[in-house]
């Protein structure tokens, strides 16, 4: 591919804004494309290259040297990671930059630290080494540093997975059944589906396979009272509603009205009639207290560092800090305790995050169980096996990209005895 001066400049602009880490990278890119209306092919190049800089920033910083500019990091990514040669870049760069690139390519390979090999910040590597060896950490980091595939979930209220696969094939879209999730489909590429009839008719939703498995851990039944406690835009809410066959009552709680607003058209498209979005002020909201002890199943997909989603959101590893994680763990403990009061005797609670840090995951659950003797852990692997989902995930669900091909997810299944 021939890279023009204009295309390189647009890529550098996007990467420069992303590297400020003032807001999520996908939001930066969306704003950039609204201003710079490039074609789809150029957009793909800009996005792929800018995200490569974020994913491999630690390595690129080391190779490009102290004080490397965003433009130099982009050039380094193109040469080192994207396989571009100097001929492809010749008309986009200056003579001085061509000389810099020649020196960059000719330099001997430096000895990298473990954090540089993993492309992770030092503090995160130190914490992960507390739970795994260096080899496993590098394997996980390689998985997290790969772009995520595009997963879909079929809406069983409207279509079967086999019918959907056949339709996608007929439309020239390569896809296969997900390895674990019974309703999941993994696409080979990243086609735009926002105007595809399957999407417009509410027959499919975009949802990572790991996220889909959380619904099967909660396993809501027809006619039950269920709460998705941190519903966000409602991807998991829609799955729970489908598993309930649109019966019973399904509350979608969230503190952000804007997020819940995005759920409403998705519910309408899905055909579900049992979903009730509710904006709450927090776990102590009066509307939460009124339902205490009345709910059959509660899903707490807690706000977290998001470090399990680095395939999609590589900027998070540079935006999160030990201090931000500490603040999140306090929120997680409060949310879990508040949500647990909703569960009736014999009811089930699933606590989940998309984090890879023990302090956001099992340590939160362990601390909760130490002070809530009326709750007990259930086996996640047994729960899934009973639904025909055969996977070795341990007592608590622990998913990692290099092992399961999903985002990093954690979930604990808890049951209230009295």
Could you give the CA distance from residue 412 to residue 217 in angstroms, rounded to a whole number?
Answer: 9
Q: Which CATH code of 3.40.50.150, 3.40.50.300, 3.30.1490.20, 3.30.70.260 fits the domain covering 209-416?
A: 3.40.50.150
Which residue is listed with tokens 């999730």? 181
pLDDT score of 402 more than 80: yes
Is pLDDT at 407 greater than 90 in this prediction?
Answer: yes
How confident is the model over 268-288, as pLDDT tens digits? 999 999 999 999 999 889 999
Terminal alpha carbon distance of the chain:
65
Please compute the mean of the pLDDT values over residues 69-87 and round it to a whole number. Answer: 92
In total, the chain counts a number of residues equal to 418
Taking only the tens place, the pLDDT of each residue in 303-312 is 999 999 999 9
pLDDT digits (tens, 9 = 90+) for 345-370: 999 999 999 999 999 999 999 999 99
Identify the residue with better confidence: 361 or 191.
361
Global confidence as pTM = 0.94
% of the chain surpassing 90 pLDDT: 86
What is the pLDDT at residue 1?
73
Q: For the chain, give every domain's residue range.
A: 5-112, 115-145, 150-206, 209-416
pLDDT at 306: 97
At a CB cut-off of 8 Å and minimum separation 6, what does 297 contact? 218, 219, 220, 224, 225, 226, 227, 343, 347, 348, 349, 350
150-206 shares its CATH topology with 209-416? no
In DSSP notation, 244-300 reads TTT-SEEEEEES-HHHHHHHHHHHHHHT--SEEEEE-SSTT-HHHHTTTT-EEEEEE
Distance from chain centroid for Cα 296: 27
Give the Cβ contact number of residue 395 at 10 Å.
14
Q: What is the CATH number of domain 150-206?
A: 3.30.70.1170
pLDDT of residue 201: 96
- Per-residue pLDDT band for 56 (boundaries 50, 70, 90) equals very high
- What pLDDT, on the 0 to 100 scale, is given for residue 2? 80
- Supply the angle between the helices 70-80 and 5-18 in degrees, to the nearest 10: 110
Share of the chain above pLDDT 70, in %: 100
pLDDT tens by residue, 143-161: 999 999 999 999 999 999 9
Q: Could you list the active site residues?
A: 354
Chain segment 82-126, per-residue pLDDT in tens: 988 888 888 889 999 999 999 998 888 899 999 999 999 999 999
């Amino acid at each position: 591919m021939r890279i023009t001066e204009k295309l390189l400049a647009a890529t550098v602009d996007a990467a420069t804004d992303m590297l400020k880490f003032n807001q999520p990278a996908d939001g930066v890119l969306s704003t950039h494309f609204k201003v710079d209306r490039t074609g789809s092919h150029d957009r793909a190049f800009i996005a792929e290259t800018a995200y490569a800089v974020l994913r491999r920033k630690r390595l690129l910083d080391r190779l490009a040297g102290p004080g490397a500019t965003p433009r130099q990091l982009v050039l380094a990514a193109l040469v080192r990671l994207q396989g571009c040669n100097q001929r492809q870049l010749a008309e986009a760069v200056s003579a001085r930059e061509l000389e810099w690139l020649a020196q960059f390519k000719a330099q001997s390979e430096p000895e990298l630290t473990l954090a540089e090999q993993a492309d992770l910040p030092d503090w995160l590597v130190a914490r992960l080494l507390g739970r795994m060896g260096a080899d496993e950490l590098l394997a996980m980091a390689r998985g997290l540093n790969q772009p995520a595939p595009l997963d879909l979930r079929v809406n069983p209220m409207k279509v079967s997975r086999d019918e959907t696969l056949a339709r996608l094939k007929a439309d020239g879209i390569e896809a296969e059944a997900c390895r674990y999730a019974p309703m999941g489909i993994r696409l080979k590429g990243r086609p735009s589906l926002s105007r595809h009839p399957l999407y417009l008719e509410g027959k499919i939703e975009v949802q990572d396979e790991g996220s889909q498995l959380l619904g099967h851990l909660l396993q809501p039944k027809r006619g039950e009272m269920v709460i998705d406690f941190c519903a966000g835009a409602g991807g998991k809410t829609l799955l729970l509603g489908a598993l309930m066959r649109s019966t019973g009552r399904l509350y979608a709680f969230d503190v952000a009205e804007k997020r819940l607003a995005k759920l409403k058209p998705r519910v309408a498209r899905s055909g579900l009639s049992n979903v009730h979005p509710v904006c709450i002020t927090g776990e102590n909201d009066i509307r939460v207290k009124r339902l205490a002890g009345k709910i059959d199943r509660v899903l707490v997909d807690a706000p977290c560092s998001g470090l399990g989603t680095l395939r999609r959101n590589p900027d998070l590893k540079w935006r999160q800090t030990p201090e931000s994680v500490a603040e999140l763990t306090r929120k997680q403990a409060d949310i879990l305790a508040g949500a647990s009061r909703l569960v009736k005797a014999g009811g089930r609670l699933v606590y989940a995050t998309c984090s890879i840090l023990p302090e956001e995951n099992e340590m939160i659950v362990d601390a909760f169980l130490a002070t809530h003797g009326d709750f007990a852990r259930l086996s996640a692997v047994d729960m899934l096996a009973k639904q025909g989902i055969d996977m070795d995930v341990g007592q608590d669900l622990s998913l990692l990209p290099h092992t399961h091909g999903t985002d990093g997810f954690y979930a604990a299944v808890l049951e209230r005895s009295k």
